[in-house]
C-alpha cells in the first residue's frame, strides 16, 4: 500500500503522493470496525489522505469533518474527496485539532489513527516525523480534544500499538472517557497481537466488550472474520 502514489478501493481512489503517511492496514481496519449509524456526524482527526472520512461516508455517515494539520496532506485529502461520490458530505479542514471549534456542534462518532511513536528515532523528514510521532498531538491533548467535541452519547474510536493501549486508556479515563470495546488485532494465528482497536464513551462501563481479530490463519490464508470486515472496501473481494 505505502509504496504506491495511489490506492484504489472498491468505491473510491486515494491519491497519496503528497502525504507523509500512506494508506495502511491500521487505517482500513479502523475505518471498517467502528460502529456507525446511518446519517451520523463523524469527525476524523488527522485525516491524512482522507481515508477514514471516505470510509465513513461510504458506510452511510451523514456529514464528515476531516481535520488535518499539514497543508499538503489536507490539500490531497480535498482532492480525494472532490473526486469521490461523497464530495457533498465530507468537509476537509486544515487546522490544529486542539484549536478547532465548530459552534457547539458535537459529533456522534470521532475516529483517529494517531501518531504512535513516543520515543523512537525520529525521521529526518520533518513532515513524516510529525505524522508518526505524538509530540504535536500527545495522548493527553487528544483525549481533551475528544472530550470537548464528542456528543454525550457518542463514541471515540482509534487504533494503537498493543503496548500503548493501557497508557492511553488510563489517560482517557482520568479525563472522563471510558473504554467500551477492545479488539486485539493478530496478524497471524499464534502470534502476539501488535495492534488494538479501541472504542471509548463518556459513560462509565460495567462490562467492556472484548474480542480478537485474526487476519491470517496458520496457513497464511486470510480468515473469514478479516474478509468480512474489509470486503466492502478492498477490490480483491
Per residue in 131-179, pLDDT (tens digit) is 443 456 899 999 999 999 999 999 999 999 999 999 999 999 999 999 9
117-129 confidence digits (pLDDT tens): 444 334 444 444 4
Domains of the chain, first to last: 12-230 (3.40.50.150)
Round to whole Å and give the CA distance between 42 and 154: 10
Whether the Cβ atoms of residue 7 and residue 236 lie closer than 8 Å to each other: no
pLDDT tens digit sequence for 22-34: 899 999 999 999 9
Per residue in 55-97, pLDDT (tens digit) is: 999 999 999 999 999 999 999 999 999 999 999 999 999 999 9
Q: Which pLDDT does position 118 carry in this prediction?
A: 42
DSSP state of 237: -
**Nearest-10 crossing angle of helices 25-33, 51-58:** 30
Query: What is the model's pLDDT at position 4?
Result: 83
> By the 8 A CB rule, do 50 and 90 touch?
yes
Three cell numbers written together for 184: 486485539
Mean of pLDDT over the chain: 91
pTM of the entire predicted model:
0.91
- Residue by residue, DSSP assigns 105-150 as --EEEEEE----BSSSPPPSSHHHHHHHBSSSS-HHHHHHHHHHHE
Amino acid at each position: 500500500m505505502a509504496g504506491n502514489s495511489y490506492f484504489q478501493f472498491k468505491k473510491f481512489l486515494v491519491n497519496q503522493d503528497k502525504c507523509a503517511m500512506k494508506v495502511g492496514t491500521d487505517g482500513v481496519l479502523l475505518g471498517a470496525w467502528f460502529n456507525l449509524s446511518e446519517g451520523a456526524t463523524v469527525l476524523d482527526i488527522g485525516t491524512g489522505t482522507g481515508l477514514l472520512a471516505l470510509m465513513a461516508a461510504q458506510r452511510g455517515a451523514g456529514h464528515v469533518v476531516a481535520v488535518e494539520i499539514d497543508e499538503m496532506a489536507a490539500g490531497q485529502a480535498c482532492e480525494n474527496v472532490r473526486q469521490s461520490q461523497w464530495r457533498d458530505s465530507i468537509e476537509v479542514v486544515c487546522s490544529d485539532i486542539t484549536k478547532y471549534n465548530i459552534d457547539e456542534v458535537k459529533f456522534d462518532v470521532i475516529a483517529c489513527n494517531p501518531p504512535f511513536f513516543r520515543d523512537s528515532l525520529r525521521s529526518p523528514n520533518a513532515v513524516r516525523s510529525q505524522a508518526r510521532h505524538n509530540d504535536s498531538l500527545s495522548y493527553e491533548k487528544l483525549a481533551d480534544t475528544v472530550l470537548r467535541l464528542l456528543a454525550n452519547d457518542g463514541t471515540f474510536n482509534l487504533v494503537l500499538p498493543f503496548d500503548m493501549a493501557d497508557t492511553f486508556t488510563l489517560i482517557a479515563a482520568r479525563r472522563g472517557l471510558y473504554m467500551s470495546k477492545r479488539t486485539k488485532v493478530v496478524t497471524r494465528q499464534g502470534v502476539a497481537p501488535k495492534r488494538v482497536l479501541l472504542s471509548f464513551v463518556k459513560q462509565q462501563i460495567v462490562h467492556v466488550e472484548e474480542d480478537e481479530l485474526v487476519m491470517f490463519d496458520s496457513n497464511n490464508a486470510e480468515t473469514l472474520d478479516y474478509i468480512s470486515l474489509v470486503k466492502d472496501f478492498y477490490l480483491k473481494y
